[in-house]
Amino acid sequence: MSDRRRSRTVLAVLVLVSLLLLTLDYRQGDGGAVAILQRGALAVFAPVQEGLASVVRPIGGFFSSIGELGSLREQNAALEADLQELRQRQVSLADLERENQELRGLLQMRERFGFTTTGARVIARPPGAFEWSVLIDIGAEHGVEPGMPVISAEGLVGKLTEVAPRNSRVQLLSSPAAGYAVRVAETGVEGLLRGQGSRPFQLEVLDPEAEIEPGQEIVTRAFQGTTIPDGIPIGEVQDATDPAAQGTRFLSVRPYVDFTKLNLVQVVLDSPLQPTELPSEQLVPDPDPPAPPALPPEQQGGATAPQ
């Protein structure tokens, strides 16, 4: 038999066996040989497939999480921006409310004394602990001059010492170089007030016999040569010491103004310099001047009548 015929015979036998197996498997159902072979292959390869699936699933979830991570970051950034904006709005509203309260206080102070004032903002505070002055944002172009008093909603702040075209320097009432004539509002007792930096003011009472109680208010006192109006609030008496050896008494005065938080102030424009003398050319003559004193009797005979 030739090789060609032998191959055809083997092929025919294989086809016949296959058909026979299919017939038997169909008749026997799940118990067929083919089914047994299928179940055997499934039993062998199923654990391997499940293991591969358990490895592949986390990898797929990881790449899916990477895709979602960018979106979460964008949402987080947007929420953070919204939160920051809300915080800024809250701070801005609080700052506006505080400034509005300061403006109302300044208006009440101006109306209380009937001053003509111009508003100013503090733009620079002292660079060190030993300089007691501030800069404000108005100057000669706004009509201010050295010596003009500066007030806040609480009381006297100080006075202008240097004036430039658009800015001015204010010597604070707390400066150790500052000295003011003052009085006790309730009794009129007079004294001299001196700044002591961050400590309470020192009040030197001129009358050692005067009775002054803690809590009494200290206000400014106008005198010759000053530009400070009378009656501007300064602070209140804290305590008193024993009379000094020179017959004077020193008191501590707590200021009304917090000099570390100055923001809005007013410069008093209509506070003219108090004269030290009366100008002779403006004196009004007395229509009934006092008569000169009479001469002694022994001198009357030698007196001659005026020509």
Q: Give the mean pLDDT of 179-184.
A: 94
Residue 185 has pLDDT above 60, yes or no: yes
pLDDT score recorded for residue 130: 62
CB 228 within 8 A of CB 114: no
User: Is it the case that residue 88 has pLDDT exceeding 60?
Assistant: yes
Tell whether the torsion through CA atoms of 211, 217, 223 and 226 is positive or negative.
positive
For the ranges 143-152, 223-232, 265-274, 297-306, the maximum mean pLDDT occurs at: 143-152
Where does residue 254 rank: exposed (0-12), middle (13-18), buried (19+ CB within 10 A)?
middle
d(CA 135, CA 130): 15
pLDDT digits (tens, 9 = 90+) for 269-293: 987 777 667 677 777 777 777 777 7
Cβ–Cβ under 8 Å, residues 274 and 129: no
pLDDT on residue 43: 53
| Separation between Cα atoms, residue 12 and residue 8, nearest integer Å | 6
Residue 97: the pLDDT is: 73
Q: Under DSSP, is residue 8 helix (H, G, I), strand (E, B) or coil?
A: helix
- Contact between 84 and 132 under an 8 Å Cβ cutoff? The reply is no
| Average pLDDT of the chain, as a whole number | 76
Name the pLDDT band for 36 (thresholds 50, 70, 90).
Answer: low
CA 272, CA 229: separation in Å to the nearest integer? 9
Residue with tokens 């208010």: 217
Contact 254, 221 (CB under 8 A): no
pLDDT at position 305: 46
Percent of the chain with pLDDT over 70: 62
Give pLDDT tens digits for 101-156.
777 877 888 888 888 999 999 998 765 556 789 999 999 999 999 999 999 999 99
Pick one of 2.40.10.340, 2.30.30.240, 1.10.3720.10, 3.40.50.300 as the CATH number of 117-268. 2.40.10.340
Which part of the chain has CATH 2.40.10.340?
Answer: 117-268
Residue type, 292: P
- Pick 50 or 154 by higher pLDDT: 154
